[in-house]
Structure 1
Amino acid sequence: MRNSLAALLALGLAGLQFIAVLAVVLSSYLTSERTLLDHARSLLTDVGYNATEHTKGFLDPARSAAELAARLAQHRVVASDDPALLEQFLFQQLRVTPNFSGLYYGDENGTFVMIMRTETPGRFRSKIILTQPERSVQFIWRNEDFSAVDSKMDPADQFDPRTRPWYQRAAETRGTIWTDPYIFFSAKAPGITLASPVFSSRGAIRGVVGVDIEISSISNFLSRLRIGTSGKALMINQNGDVIAHPNQDLIQTENSDGSLRFTQIDEIKDPIARTAFGSTGLNVADGKTRRATFSEITYGDARYVASVMPVISEELPWTIAVYAPEDDFTGAIKKNRATNIWIAALVAIVTGLIGLALAQFIHRPVRAFAVRSALISQGEIDPSEPMPKTYSELAEANASLVRQIVERKKTEREYGLTFDRSSRGMAQIAPESGRFLKVNSTFSDMTGYSAEELAAMDYADLAPPEDAGLLRPLTPMQDEDFATHREARLIRKDGDAISVTVNAILIRDHNGQPLHAVVAFDDITETKVKEGQIARLNRDLSHLARGETMGELAAGLAHEVNQPLAAIAQNADTALLVLDQAKDSPPELREILTEIEKQSLRAGEIIRALRGFIRKEEVTTDPFDLSELVEQTRILVQPEATEAGVALHTILPPLPPVAANRVQIAQVLVNLMRNAIEAMQKSDPTLRQVTVAARQIGGQIEVSVTDTGPGVDPAISLFTKFETTKSTGMGLGLSICRSLIEANGGKLWLDHDHSAGARFCFTLPVRAA
């Protein structure tokens, strides 16, 4: 429900006048005992807040200085690992902050640098503890200009900052902490320590910066407060210690061992404070006070009003307690109550009528402004048309509103153009149902459905059953940070499946409610097909490599074994001739030699059959695009090249199809590129390059694989079987490559005219037209 601005203005003016007059009139009622009490409470509250704010203002610089020092040390603006620089930085901080009694830094190794105020022999004393290369403790006394007055070493000092409560609590909480107040050992004065951790770049604790602050000035401030004629304010810690009092002698108590501690509220030698705030008075010792509380007490023949303020903070659970005699507050005010009430009513009526007239006058241009803004927002009038006469503030607001409307319409138009003309498939999807709210033409072309057809469908209608749950129902889209990026499949209108990447984000309104999901689709079907081709080529190459290696191995063995078999047969035949010429030769010897000759000839026939079988293997040739094959083999070898720091380049002009066995040629390319990569293992990493180039020469395509390695030793027979320069090689790689190229109607050779590295070339016939 919307209220009228005129009515609100009239009621507001009349109401404010009525409340103001009533406040004056009703003040006459505050002449009783409650008047005195309320006045006293107000004064005590003001005193408590003043003391609280003074304490905060006194201690806040310490927090700022400690956290600043921690941040500077953390970011190495101050070299926390350089004790000399750190001592100088802490000295400057202490010198310009008079309420600090000491500044220090301890790190995780036990190193400690401290600056504190002293009287003699200098104004400041430094304590520096180093743990590397061996532990040392040095004291240095300095003047205001940082000049050294005196110094000494103290090998008996066993102080370790890591064992101190301020260090351990700051490291444990990983934040700035305040210790409980305590009596400084050397100064015999009340104080408190603030500590802030210093972190490394990885988030580990490097050390802790600490600040010692004397809080005696708080007691001095409390002693200067004037609360009535004899009232007092004191500060109490949550453990019951009185840490500040106008009479500082009352807050220190000596223990049996001679050490000093704070006086508890139940034992303080201020009987009124003990009665008002001790265990029988207001409960302040538990530190749970969250608002000002008041009480009235009687001590002797006098009555007192007392108040306890909220604790300063969780880190500083201190409470300001104030008390004052009721007799200090006087000033009874009595006036004619009925007359003042009638005066208040009359003033309210008059001001209400005046306010109504004024409200109507004020509201008239505001109403005109509201009507014009609504018409501009609806597009019924042009924003450039003159605006009716109104207030300067409304004119500025109108100009700002018009600019926002124009910018909004411009943004909506640009978004619409981007959505409709995007080269990616774009769709808006309802978050509760997955229904298509809007699609662009690219998505329509991608799916084969028109925009009208898609408007009656949802995502599940296009997705295979296993992917239907991606965007329907869109329960995950209710998450605040919903976004998705994944691959999926869609079924086109013609029944073909396409692969797409789906990128979706959720758009919300100003109230955080989901409006729709904006989804971008990229067709990656062709990319998927190419990835499949490369994977199949890799499997075929592995299979061919094993088959060709075994074939070459068998052919080589057949060639090598055939020669000793022939020698065996000849020797056996010669032995038979010698045996024929000899006399009285044993018949068993003739049978043995005859069997040797027979078996050697039989073995030779087996070897010849094996060689014939290998040589007669037919090569299946099909036309294919050599440039595409080179690119696919480059992708296969790229991981090895990247690991070896080798750059792979290709120079491939438009080429006609070649007629060859595609898998065998791929095997040759892979072998040559791998050999080139291995040849550059000891070359300069910045010069390692392999270039695969191809060109047409007549009816053939010449392919070259060039590296920038050390080249080929002329003494090596590259294409000889079982000869290799690799410790783990078999000497069959180049021999297999030559055999494969020759089997496909080409030839393979080493270009001896190329001097910078090695260049292997081979040719393949162009497919006949």
Structure 2
Amino acid sequence: MPIFVAVGVTGWLSFRSGQQSVEMLVRKLSEEVSDRIESEVATYMKQPQVFHELTLAAIRSGNLNVEDFGELERYFWHQMLWDDSIIYSYYGNEAGEFIGINVIDDGKRVLRIRQQESGSPRQTYELDSQGNRLGEISVGEYDPRVRPWYQNAKSFGKITWSPIYKFQSQDVLGITAVAPVYQPGGTLQGVFAINISLGQLSEFLNSLEISPAGAAFIIERSGTIVASSVVENLLVEGEAGQTDSAENPNRLLAVESINPAIQGTARELFARYNNLDSIQTAENFKFSLDGKMQLVAVTPIQDGRGLDWLIVAIVPESDFMGYIYENTRNTVVLSLAALVVASILGIAIAKWLIQPILRLSATAQDIELGNFDPNSLTEVTKRSDEVGQLARIFQDMANKIYAREQGFKNQLSLLQNETDKAKKAMLLTQMSDSSYFQQLLIKSKRTRSKAEEFQKIDVAELLKKVSYFHSFSDAEIQQLIEMGYRKILYPGEYVCREDEPGDAFYIILEGSVEIFVEKINKFLTNLGVGTFFGELSLLLGIPRTATVRTREDTVLFVLDREGLQKLLRNYKDLAEQIAQALHEHKAELESRKELLQKMGLLDDEEGFNQNPLGWIRNRMATLFGL
């Protein structure tokens, strides 16, 4: 009975454990698929918004003129070269003018442009590999102001997304990232736009290896499909009286998908939540579809700019339970056979054999623990059967093993002592070897020789190459050398680190350095002979914002705060040159405005914004007593 119960309970627990493990695995798989899709979609949809942010920043800084269509044409060309995932980047304004570069089906890029001086039709030109116009391809009517992307940007008044619509240039569904541009008075000037084809999302979903019958799709809150892992037409014919226009195409609902899993899951979603707008966090559930359990993971994806979709991953439990059912059948058959054999043999020999074998087992464990008692098997050795014979042999083997083990322990202890002595002797031999000290002496001579080479560097000649000291005479350069000092560093040494006080100005006389931000592990640039660094932090009295480390043997000329103060007092024209040079770094000063405010150095922010040069002069006068 115990064997019968044990086999039955073990088989049942094995099945339940396997079933639960599979369910956990399937749930985890569906969640990971959903997370992977979310990450891919977020990355894919974020890129156009980043481009718009950069474009608006370029306009605000005066680096991009939206009224110069030649400049816009070059801008769009380089934008598409930088990211080949962009299929169409363009701009339209309130005057009805339009310009954009589009990747057509054969991979060629074309320019589409409509200007007032060229008439109302939009012209299309083929572009070569350098972005030059080859010739006019076509002419057609086009008014950007009536397109859904332009209307949506005009309504929202900020960077956002258009509704999903059918592209006019290509008969595919897509969505457009739009960014309105306003004139200083607040009047809309035009709209920048970047098209994204939803077909690429469907291709990504189709490439995922979910499970043999698994599926994934993305829907809007209304239930219309955005992308699907199942190849199907997302544009459908409308009912009588409905029109299929580019602005309002007839799109496929998830509940009407040709895939039973997608169709059934969509119906289950509406039945569970009634209104898909109520799904604001990741949800997991399972339901039965045609008698088979389906595990579903639903993840909302929102970007705060109008994008509001649901990612749905479906994994049928049956894709994995087949292995469990097959294993269960084999386990039942083998368990029943083992049960019959074990029951018969167990009843026959248990009383006769088990006890002496247990005694042998206990003795073996004692030997392993080093607690062997030679008399522990005396009772068993008195038996005349095979067990008694086995016990006598075992006892004889145990005595020999125990004695041999003790001998091995003694030998191991002696060997350890000898090894320690040999190590000490070898160390003394190395220390007494004259070649060991000769190698150290050679290394020292090489280092000294390298330092002597650095001493021969013409510091005066290199200082003249620095822009601040172009006009200095030889005598003035010599006075400058006396105000600072030379510093020799070897590869991998840190010159200064971010957040440290800016207390020195460095000029590279020999070698090179790398500049990077440690906090975010971001490389910035490399500097070589004749260049300088550290002047901004020293002159404005703010901490270092980057770390500098040598890339090779490097010689620096260092001018500390005291030396710089003396230099500026002697050469007031130089102070004005440096102030003018710092004023040219407007973008860098703007980026450090928050740091200056935190340090209490920017009491008059309005004065800083209106006259940065005056603020720099006052700051230098305060720090250096000019």
Name the TM tier (shorter chain).
0.3 to 0.5
Structure label with greater radius of gyration: 1
Normalised to the residue count of structure 1, the TM-score between the two structures is 0.37
Normalised to the residue count of structure 2, the TM-score between the two structures is 0.45
